[in-house]
Structures are given as C-alpha cells and as structure tokens.
Structure 1
C-alpha cells in the first residue's frame, strides 16, 4: 500500500478484509500492520463481523479407528460435503484424543503427546493451520476423575480451560469427593487454583456428554445420587454452569421429566445461542420418546426449559444423542445401527418427520460437530508451540 496513504486510512481498509488467510499474509507487510491485526480490539471487531458460521465441521473415528474431519454446507433439503480442513500434524499426533469443546471458532482436544508420556490439551483453529499445546499439570495419585471445560471469555477474548479433579476424602464418606479446580488462560500461560466451594455438592459426577460453551458460560450435564432418610436413593440430573468472567459455578435445575430420568442417552448441545437438552423420557399415551428441550432466559437469567419437539425414528435406529443443529435448526443425530459399537449420522426434520441419512458411519460416541467459524484468535502464536509449567 502506498506510503502516500495515511496509516489510519490503511487500517480502515484492512478492517474491511473478511478473509483470515489474507489478514495473516498482511501481518508480514510491516510491524505496524502486524501490531494492528494482532490487537485485541481488531480481533474482537473481526469476531463480531464473523458470528455467522460458514459451514459445519464433523469429527469422528471410522471403523478402523482413524480420526476423520468432514465439513458440510447445509442448504435447503440437502447437505453437501464441502471440504476437509488442513489438520496440523500436532493434532494428528495427539494419541487417544477426544474433543473437549469448541468456542469462537477454536477447538480444544485432550489426549497424550506422540510418545504417550505427557497428558496434553491442544487448542486448534480449524480455519487456519495453527495449534497450541498445553501440558496438563500433575494431579494427585488419589484423584479418581478429571473433567475439562473450554470456552473463550467474551469480555477479553481469552481462551480458557477449566480442569476439575476429585479424590476421596480420608475422613469422609466414600461417595464424597474433594474437588480441586484449576483455570488456565492463554494470555497468562499458567494454571491457577480457584476456590471450589461454590460447586453444588461434593458427590456429583459429570455425564459422558460433551460440554457446551455459549456466550460467557460453559455447561456440563451432571448427576448426583440423593440418599433419603429411609436409605433409599434416587438420581438427580442437573446442568452445571461456569461463568468465564466471574469464575463462579452454578447449578441449573431441569424439568421434573428430566431431573429423575435414568436414561443413558442424555445430551446437551447448542441451538443458535441457546442451550438444548435431549433425552429419552416416558410420556403418557406415547411411551418412551426422545424429546428436545431448549433453555429459555430473561435478562440473562434462566427461567425455564421449553419442550420443542419429539424425534421420531424407526425402532431399529434409536437416537444415541443429538450432536448439534443445522443452520436452519434441524437436529443432527448420532443413531445406533445393527452393528455393535457402530453409529451413523442423520438429520431430522421436525415439520415433516423426515430423516436424512448423511451416509457417515463411525465409532459410537466419537462424533463431534460444531459450526465452522473463521477467527483471528491464536494468530499471534506459532504453530505447535507447547506451554508447560516449566515454560
């Protein structure tokens, strides 16, 4: 760009560029351009302009345990394969990996490095070839379970990881846990212990479903076993939320039809900017049905869960879980097949009750789908950089 053009005019022109790859090339033009593009203000502005995802990105393991990525553009009555992302070697070499969650165009995966010696988390931008590894800190050998959460704080645009570990207390009941909570932010590059006193109780556990990040909250499906005075116990299901700004946990109650349900097919997902809970329940005159509920809010406070519809599938292909939704709001499901441990992906149309089979089969429980969104977060990091406690 000509030196005769004032710098502020140059920056106004750059603000109109909508392609991430072009902006990455522009960073090499000058230090001034790099500083401007890497600034939190420009990254935030770019994120606001690109809230609408271009497509959906699906990750799964095929029948020979190979991880695959497929991107889809969903049009009217059709779902066309668009492309597969350029997966960096760092992500490919992550051993025994699984997706923790996705937020603002970033994915967070958990696994072990190629040698299997270090437990790691990897933050990855599917839209560009940048990935950052974070070594998981050592947790006491008394730890019985570790659960992670991932989200980008909307006020600082700082990628954040929550790690919750529990262990049996020496002088406590055997079904009671001591929770330890640590927070990692990419800006600080360190793990910080935070109080866990505002967790709902000491004996709850997380469900197997993937977490969901919406706005400033991370949500998990959780459950607890409540023992009455008569010694009888019952299941209590609820949603646990974590505020990325205040670092506070909160328990969200579910409708009575879901709160005491023993179903193994619970799932939580995101419909536009709302939390969705899906599960099998028993209904009068209908028997066992798979329903979809959406959390309603007023003034940023949860008010209730609204029943949206039931998903009707053939008896030979029951729903395992709802993975997510198309741009038009149709649920994308993982359903069972006749073959053990093999599932397939289908789209359900509530209005017509029609089911579209996408023709993708893979290992059950391995499917993860999320909107593909371009972002400039991580653009100032080198690909494959590793952050550890010794760094």
Structure 2
C-alpha cells in the first residue's frame, strides 16, 4: 500500500459537545472580561446592576466570536488539511477569522452604543471610537483563533500519525505474509524431489519418509499464519525434520540438538527448516564424510552449525528463499538480525532469540 496516496481524515471532532458547555464557556469568558473592566462593581448590588449591560454585551461578543472561530475551522478542516498545506491553511484560517471578527465586533459595538446611549444615532457615532472599541474583541479573537488553530492542528496531526502507523503495520503484515507464503511451496517441492529419488533407491525407506513427511507438513500448515513461534516448537520440528533426512541419508548424516528449556523465547516459524534444508542441499554427505549438524543455544542466540562440504556445482537458490527470507522476516519483526559466519571448515548461522515483551 502506497503511503503517498493515503487520504487524511480532516474533520475535527466538535469542540462544543453540547449547548450547555458552549453557554458555560462563554459565560466564564464574559464574566472575566466584565471583572477586568470593573472589579469593584461586583462588591455591591447597585454595581452588579450597572454592569449587566456590559456583561450581556461581553457574552454576546464572546459567543459570536467563538462560534465563528469554530465554523471557520470546520470549513477549512474539510478543504485544506494542516498536514498537506500548513502555511496556506494558517494564512487562510487566520485571515478569514480576523476579517470575520472585525466585522462582527464592529456591528455589535455599534448596536451596543445605539442601545445603551440615549439619543445616540448613527450620525453621532464617532467611527474612530468604534474602531478603538473593537480592539478588545479583536484581541479576544486572536486568543480564540490561537486555541482553535492549535487544537485543530494537533487533532489532525494525531489522526495522521495514527493512520500512517496503521498503514505501516498493514504494509509490514502484507510483506511478512508474502515471505511466509514462499515457504510452503519451497518446502514441499524439495521434499517431493527428495522422495522421488528415494523411491528408486529404497521403497521401504520411502514409505517411512512419507509418514514422517505428513507429520512435518502438518506443523508447516499449523504455523503458516503465525508471526512468531515458541523456540521449543521449532526445535521439535527440527528434530522431526532431521529424522526425516536421516531416513534418506542414513549414516551420511549426523545431528545433535544441545538446548535447554526456552519457553520464553520465540523465532519466526520455519527458520530452522530453511537453515537445515540449505545445509542438506548445498553440502556433500557420505558415510566417509558425513554431514554434521549441531543446534545449540549460546546466550540469547540459537546457533545452527554444520561442517562445510560444499558441492562442486551447488544448486542455485531462488531469490527470497533461504537465508534472505530469514533476514527479511527478522527485519520486519525486530531490530535484531541473524549473523552468518563462514570458514573453511564450518558454516554457522546465529538466530536472535526474541521475547514477546521486547
């Protein structure tokens, strides 16, 4: 899935969950403004009566500005996401809201003067005084737009981060499943190929091989949907897999598992199968020079080693299968990666043991 083509959720959740909260918020704002204008008026009943018109005006102004700010944010949230065009969004939001605030403030101040001052008419109003009266509402508008803008940006940033993480997880899961899907055909092909040779060499061995293969393939089917499996299950599978190969190679193959209890550790499923399969596939095994495979644990690593007896004309391994497959799956699941050491005598692969709480 291409992250560049993803759609962003741009609509903010309503800031006013109910009409009651809207009224309460603007009531508090109006109360603070009135207190700022005449604190001593709150000390007497006459003072309270005298400031009621101012309180009503402040409440009306605050309600108009806050509702307008919310509507402006909602309008641009649906059209210009913060994530895509932050500068354009900021300029348009701030500009639109300041123009709205000035017009609303101007109109409300004129209405307030006409109502509160006896004999006042439009012709007697000093327009410069009106502009001066709008300074406080515009300052309030700047505070409101700052709050709305910050909230809107944080909301969209959070949604974008969550959607990006979701898409990333889905993409990684898809990649991981694709890698796992490569294993079943690969394993089955190699097993049937080995069986075809064994049928001609020894019919009795081929019957035992088929029985053992059915048990092994049952495990392959069981873990194909798993991201991680317990190491103990993989070791039991490795024991069965090597026993299967023992039927085929007899004394030409020797193996040993030296591990203790490891209930808390996990590895990607069928990792051991790929390593063991590669060891058998790319090395010569004979009674004079048997292939020796050892699986052991050292600290937080599961070590798979075999003596190196490479075939003169090694088979070409398909891309994405084998070691490359293991490396890719570890990269998708953890920051730990396997390590390969090759010398003249040995081929060693170290698989990191993973914990579910890491």
Tell which structure's C-alpha radius of gyration is larger: 2
Does the TM-score normalized on the shorter chain lie above 0.5? no
TM-score (normalizing by structure 2): 0.22
**Whose helix proportion is higher, 1 or 2?**
2
**Whose strand proportion is higher, 1 or 2?**
1
Q: Which has the higher contact order (CA 8 A, sep 6+)?
A: 1
TM-score (normalizing by structure 1): 0.20
